[in-house]
Amino acid sequence: MTATKGKRMKMASDYRILSEKLSAFLNRVGIDALIEVQESIQSNGRIVNKEKGYRWWVLHNSGFRIGDGKGMIGEINGDYNDDHIDSALRKFFKHKK
C-alpha cells in the first residue's frame, strides 16, 4: 500500500534519521559513482522498476539497518514492511531532485 495525500507516512517518526544517514552516504559515494550505478540499473533487464531498484540499492549499500521491532535491532526499529520503507525512500529521493 502506498501513502496517499493527507495520510501520515508510517516511518514519519524515524524519517529524519533515515534521511540524515542516506544523505551522508550519497555525499561519501559521490555523483560519478551514483551515475554509474544508475546506468547499471537502467541497463539491467531483470530489474523491472528501475527507480525502486536504485532506491533500494542506496539503502542497502548505505549500511543503514532497520530493525523489525521484535528482535532484529537496527538504527531505527519498528513494525515496518517494504512498502513503509519504500514510501520513506520515495520521499527522500523526491526531495533530492
Domain boundaries, the chain: 12-96
The confidence score (pLDDT) of residue 95 equals 84
Question: Which DSSP helix (H) or strand (E) runs through 86?
Answer: helix 82-96
The residue with cell 536504485 is 54
Instruction: Tell me if 55 sits within 8 A of 88, measured CB to CB.
Output: no
**pLDDT tens digits in sequence order for the chain, 97 residues long:** 444 555 788 899 999 999 999 999 999 999 999 999 999 999 999 999 999 999 999 999 999 999 887 888 899 988 899 999 999 999 999 987 6
> What pLDDT, on a 0 to 100 scale, did the predictor assign at position 1?
43
* Residue among 73, 74, 87 nearest 15 (CA): 87
- pTM for this structure? 0.85
Task: Decide: 79 and 68 in contact? Cβ < 8 Å.
Answer: yes
Grid cell 541497463 in the structure block, residue: 43
pLDDT at 6: 59
